[in-house]
Amino acid sequence: MQIILIPGLWLDAASWDSVVPALRDAGHEPTPLTLPGLGAPASESGELRMSDWVDAVVAEIDRAPEPVVVVGHSGGGNVAWGAADARPDRVARVIFVDTVPPPPGGQISEFDVVDGVVPFPGWETFDDEEVSDIDAPTRERTAEAARSVPARIPTDEIALNDQRRFDVPVTILSGGMDDATFRSAISEWGRYAQEFSAIRDARVVRLGTGHWPQFSAPQKLAGEILAAI
């Protein structure tokens, strides 16, 4: 089965490098993506919207001969859910890596815009529980490889229009929350709670990692992706 791997903000296809071999060895076809405008100056990326990122994933889905699994890490989860909404009959499952399905109009988050793009803000801007399991060499290497994001992407609202997205099976690989804890937490999140509760087949698995398991625990992440499909 083809597994489309969507990175979060600032990351490219190479961010999945330590996850891909286990998926391939299990007989699947992992397809990590680099989304449009990543690392490009404002003159080239300033007009890109969330819909352009969703379209890039949809184009990959359309090239596949059979239904695919779509995996989205962090902000990539918004892109994954948008793609499932656009092609609900072509997505066999969506796997969210330490993120949740956004409701219509949902955004990723707001970050500082510098010279018309959103640069990686640095590890120090994230909570300790999100980054404590990433060692110093990995942090340095990842920060050096991080690339700017088009300015509109983090705060651009996701468009969701097809109710059939709720028929697509969903697995949430949560860094710190088990199923019961997650469901209790999301019940307080307003429109996010409504979106999640409408999904007919939703499972939650605790990874026991921070926010970037593709760096801190790639084999465990790969194993849970395989278990989900």
Coil vs helix vs strand at 210: coil
User: Picking from 58-62, 128-132, 133-137, 210-214, which range would have the lowest pLDDT averaged per residue?
Assistant: 128-132
Q: Is residue 11 scored above 90 in pLDDT?
A: yes
Please report which helix (H) or strand (E) contains residue 71, including its range.
Answer: strand 68-73
Confidence class of residue 69 from pLDDT cuts 50, 70 and 90? Answer: very high
Tokens of 132: 């404590």
| CB burial string 121-160: b at 16+ within 10 A, e below | eebeeeeeebbebbeeeeeeebeeebbbbbbbbbebebeb
C-alpha closest to that of 96 among 164, 175, 10: 175
CATH of domain 2-228: 3.40.50.1820
Average pLDDT on 179-191 reads: 96
| DSSP code of residue 114 | B
- Dihedral of alpha carbons 46, 49, 52, 53, sign: positive
Report the mean per-residue pLDDT for the chain. 97
Any idea where the domains of the chain sit in the sequence? Answer: 2-228
Coil vs helix vs strand at 104: coil
Please report which helix (H) or strand (E) contains residue 186, including its range.
Answer: helix 179-186
Q: Is residue 84 scored above 90 in pLDDT?
A: yes
Average pLDDT on 187-200 reads: 96
Average pLDDT on 163-177 reads: 98
pLDDT, position 90: 98
pLDDT, position 170: 99
pLDDT, position 129: 87
CA–chain centroid gap for 16, Å, is 11
Confidence class of residue 17 from pLDDT cuts 50, 70 and 90? Answer: very high
C-alpha–C-alpha distance, residues 93 and 217, integer Å: 22
**What's the pLDDT tens digit per position in 106-117?**
999 999 999 999
pLDDT, position 219: 98
pLDDT, position 30: 99
Average pLDDT on 78-101 reads: 99
Instruction: Confirm whether pTM is higher than 0.75.
Output: yes
pLDDT > 90 fraction of the chain, expressed in percent and rounded:
99
Cβ distance 93 to 168 under 8 Å? yes
C-alpha–C-alpha distance, residues 126 and 113, integer Å: 17
C-alpha distances in Å from residue 82, one per residue of 94, 166, 180? 11, 12, 26
Q: Is residue 128 scored above 90 in pLDDT?
A: no
